[in-house]
A = this chain, B = another copy of it.
Amino acid sequence: MTRKRFDDLGCSVACALNEVGDWWSLLVIKQAMLGTRRFVDFQHGLGIAKNILCDRLARLVDNGVLARVNAGEHGTRYEYRLTDKGRDLFTVVVALRQWSERWNGNRDDMQLVDRVTGASIAPVVVRNAEGETLTVRDVSFVGKDGQPLERAG
């Protein structure tokens, strides 16, 4: 399968999609956030075919989202660890989880809680500089020159 690139769309979202690659990649990242590091554990956790997992791990390493680290104390054993760039996808993963839970009910086998307090985390929202919540209707897309583009839906 060839890899579709979206570079020419001049769009940060498209650019991010190039890097995270596809749905399997995002599930690999989510699994890594759960603490999974070894190839076999990703395979087991996600029920993903070896060749697809190989491809997605390699791509995520290429894009600096995961690092491939030799963690073998006696001999070679590779682990895949989230980089700072990978860990920074936490907001995206949580926002997507919460959206799914809001609209499809909580079908998840697990919950995400504050490690210290054990309490549920707050809904992720978009805020303006003053901390007020914004919906898509409260924002404008403007060009580099500051002139408005089309209106948001």
Cβ contact of A142, chosen from B106, B111, B117, cutoff 8 A: B111
Residue of B nearest to A129 (CB): B119
Q: Chain A's interface: helix, strand, loop or mixed, by majority?
A: mixed
Q: How far is the CB of A132 from chain B (nearest CB, A)?
A: 8
Number of interface residues of A (CB under 8 A): 89
Is A74 close to B, CB under 8 A? no
Q: Kindly state the separation between the CA atoms of A46 and B88 in the bound complex, as whole angstroms.
A: 27
B82:A89 contact, CB within 8 angstroms: no
Please encode chain A, from 118 to 153, with 1 for each CB lying within 8 Å of some chain B CB and 0 for all others.
111110111111010011111111111010011111
Also in contact, A12 and B126, with CB within 8 A (given A88-B102, A92-B99, A112-B139)? no
Q: How far is the CB of A135 from chain B (nearest CB, A)?
A: 6
- 5 closest A-B pairs by beta carbon, nearest first, are A16-B100, A35-B150, A10-B109, A12-B100, A12-B108
